[in-house]
């Protein structure tokens, strides 16, 4: 069955919305001396910020370093022009400034901050299903400027990492002479760069919060699992927006699906004789990317995100030492303060649009979700079909009462909703949203508040239920969809009007957490620690706390130990 290309369209839009450099940038260039060279940035007078863009944190991952662990840059007395964004990592669509030489990062600070100021640091990891994403697509200028206006200035760092086949290729050849999870190792090396260098920009290496959305949030979660939860002092708190663990089941590098992907990629670029990895490393990067797109289209035939099951993080038993369900059960995750939250309708942006009967839905779930056949497989599937019934009232977009600034869900019982969608659209949206995002968030948080953890009380959660209105008073037909909260943290206009309270208080909450590891210190929002079993409902006109028990049986059916063994969690 053919799946929607909405995710690829979203990726293209994200790249096309690359942040424009300020027209009123000052001629003065702030300068920072690093072991790798002298970095000259730019001043953004419109927000009163210093920006240092495209700073390399690793050697170009080309030649023998393709599909390998990133290597730190050498010491140098070079002059580094940091007034323009660096190249974006290889991904669809083509035609932008992208290359393999993409392991760079951006540092934004309030104007004139001196070395040694020891400001807390917020490190951003972008999303994009581990197949796309870029730092220029997220404009944090307003967030950093707001922090300075609050009298609580922060330093913001946005890191690039390899995606798609360049960052997440598996197979026995990669295990033997490469690196599964190269993209996660990129993130790790960038965090090491922050530890070694951020003080020179005025940041405090001892107060680093990592923050991501979607695949970025999944990356954050995986970094908290890495090395059995050992942060190695690289970060001290974490924020996960709209993230589970991965946009699909997690596999091992030797799984037949992963090995087949490696072999098809090699064949697609003309590598037919051993050593295949050596040939792949010498292949044209654009050819590798083009072939990867063909493979992701095949993977997309069984899963709602093009790229799922093709190029994802892997349980490599090195960086990621075991399946998340095992690590969580054993308490092997970083003992740090955490915020983790989701949007109400996580699945609507990716829901299946070609399922016209209950039988279609069941066939799709079997092909998309079952990774390991066990004696429990059939029971697990039948339970999923029961708790995600063929009833549009129980599907997503979920019922959501309107307020003065948030639109109500329309046509709750309509099977063809949004208009022109398929018979099983709302059912598949409900399943996908929980399978990929919500159920994993809840399981993670239950482990994070474990009694043996020093930071068990320093855990918070939210559900974003705001459906912003267009000028005509209508909201999005997708509900409070995946990523819709980002416009309250980054400059991402979408033609809809923001709620004034959320616009003011959400950035304050994130700055507060970056400073104090507590989102409530600088915000009036009624944050409640997750030890109460409650989440903060973020909806204009009705911000309140609600029990984290919605769809309890359904999510348990996805994450209980027997089901986890079937679904690769």
Q: Please, what are the domains in the chain?
A: 6-93+121-143+161-191+212-236+249-321 (3.40.50.1820), 338-567 (3.40.50.1820)
Quickly count: other Cβ atoms within 10 Å of residue 108's Cβ: 26
Residue 112 CA to residue 202 CA, distance in Å, equals: 9
- Residue identified by tokens 């050992």 is 230
CA distance 552 to 61: 44
As a whole number of angstroms, the distance between CA 20 and CA 504 comes to: 24
Question: What element of type H or E holds 156?
Answer: strand 155-159
Q: What is the pLDDT of residue 163?
A: 97
Q: Where are the beta strands (DSSP E) in 24-153?
A: 25-26, 31-34, 37-40, 42-44, 49-56, 79-81, 104-110, 119-125
Distance CA 325, CA 566 (A): 12
pLDDT of amino acid 93: 77
Quote the tokens at residue 459: 């855990």
Separation CA 10–CA 232 (nearest Å): 35
Residues of the chain with pLDDT under 70: 1-27, 94-95, 297-309, 451
Q: What is the predicted pLDDT for the residue at 368?
A: 78
Annotated catalytic residues are 214, 346
Q: What does each C-alpha distance from 470 to 224, 477, 494, 495, 514 come to in angstroms?
A: 38, 11, 9, 6, 32
Give the DSSP H/E element, type plus range, for residue 537. Answer: strand 534-538
Phi, psi of 521 (to 5 degrees): -60, -40
Determine the pLDDT at residue 373.
Answer: 79
The pLDDT value given to residue 298: 60
Q: What is the pTM of this model?
A: 0.94
Indicate the length of the chain as a whole number: 569
- Please report the pLDDT score of residue 491 as a whole number: 85
Of 384, 465, 464, 395, the C-alpha closest to 430 is 395
């Amino acid at each position: 069955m053919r799946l929607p290309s909405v995710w690829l369209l979203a990726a293209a839009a994200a790249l096309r919305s690359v942040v424009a450099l300020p027209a009123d940038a000052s001629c003065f260039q702030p300068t920072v001396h690093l072991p790798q060279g002298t970095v000259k940035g730019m001043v953004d007078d419109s927000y009163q910020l210093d920006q240092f863009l495209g700073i390399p944190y690793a050697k170009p991952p080309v030649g023998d370093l393709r599909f390998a662990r990133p290597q730190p840059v050498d010491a140098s007395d070079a002059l580094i022009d940091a007034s323009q964004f660096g190249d974006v990592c290889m991904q669809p669509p083509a035609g932008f400034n992208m290359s393999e030489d993409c392991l760079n990062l951006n540092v934004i600070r309030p104007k004139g901050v001196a070395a040694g100021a020891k400001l807390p640091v917020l490190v951003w990891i972008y999303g994009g299903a581990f197949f796309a994403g870029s730092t220029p697509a997220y404009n944090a200028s307003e967030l950093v400027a707001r922090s300075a206006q609050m009298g609580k200035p922060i330093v913001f760092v946005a890191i690039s990492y390899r995606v798609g086949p360049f960052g997440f290729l598996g197979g026995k050849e990669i295990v033997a002479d490469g690196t599964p999870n190269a993209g996660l190792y990129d993130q790790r090396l960038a965090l090491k760069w922050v530890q070694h260098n951020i003080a020179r920009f005025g940041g405090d290496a001892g107060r680093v919060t990592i923050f991501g959305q979607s695949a970025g949030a999944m990356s954050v979660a995986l970094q908290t699992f890495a090395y059995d939860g050992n942060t190695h002092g690289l970060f001290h708190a974490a924020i996960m927006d709209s993230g589970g663990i991965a946009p699909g089941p997690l596999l091992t590098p030797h799984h037949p699906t992963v090995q087949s992907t490696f072999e098809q990629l090699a064949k697609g670029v003309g590598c037919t004789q051993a050593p295949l990895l050596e040939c792949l490393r010498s292949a044209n990067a654009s050819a590798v990317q083009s072939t990867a797109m063909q493979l992701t289209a095949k993977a997309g035939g069984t899963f709602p995100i093009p790229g799922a099951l093709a190029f994802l993080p892997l349980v490599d038993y090195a960086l990621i030492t075991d399946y998340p369900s095992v690590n969580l059960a054993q308490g092997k995750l970083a003992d740090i303060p955490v915020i983790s939250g989701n949007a109400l309708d996580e699945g609507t942006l990716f829901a299946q649009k070609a399922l016209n009967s209950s039988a279609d839905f069941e066939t799709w779930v079997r092909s998309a979700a079952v990774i390991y056949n066990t004696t429990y497989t059939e029971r697990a599937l039948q339970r999923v079909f029961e708790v995600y019934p063929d009833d549009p009232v129980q599907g997503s977009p979920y019922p959501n009462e309107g307020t003065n600034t948030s639109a109500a869900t329309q046509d709750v019982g309509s099977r063809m909703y949004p208009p022109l969608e398929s018979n099983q659209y709302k059912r598949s949206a409900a399943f996908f949203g929980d399978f990929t995002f919500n159920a994993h968030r809840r399981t993670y948080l239950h482990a994070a508040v474990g009694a043996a953890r020093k930071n068990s009380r320093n855990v918070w959660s939210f559900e974003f239920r705001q459906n912003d209105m267009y000028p005509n008073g209508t909201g999005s037909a997708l509900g409070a969809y995946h990523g819709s909260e980002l416009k309250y943290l980054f400059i991402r206009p979408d033609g809809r009007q923001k709620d004034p309270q959320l616009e003011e208080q959400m950035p304050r909450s994130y700055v507060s957490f970056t400073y104090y590891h507590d989102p409530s210190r600088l915000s009036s929002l009624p944050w409640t620690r997750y030890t109460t079993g409650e989440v903060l409902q973020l909806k204009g006109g009705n911000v309140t706390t609600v029990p984290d028990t919605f769809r309890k049986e359904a999510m348990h059916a996805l994450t209980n130990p027997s089901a986890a063994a079937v679904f690769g969690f």
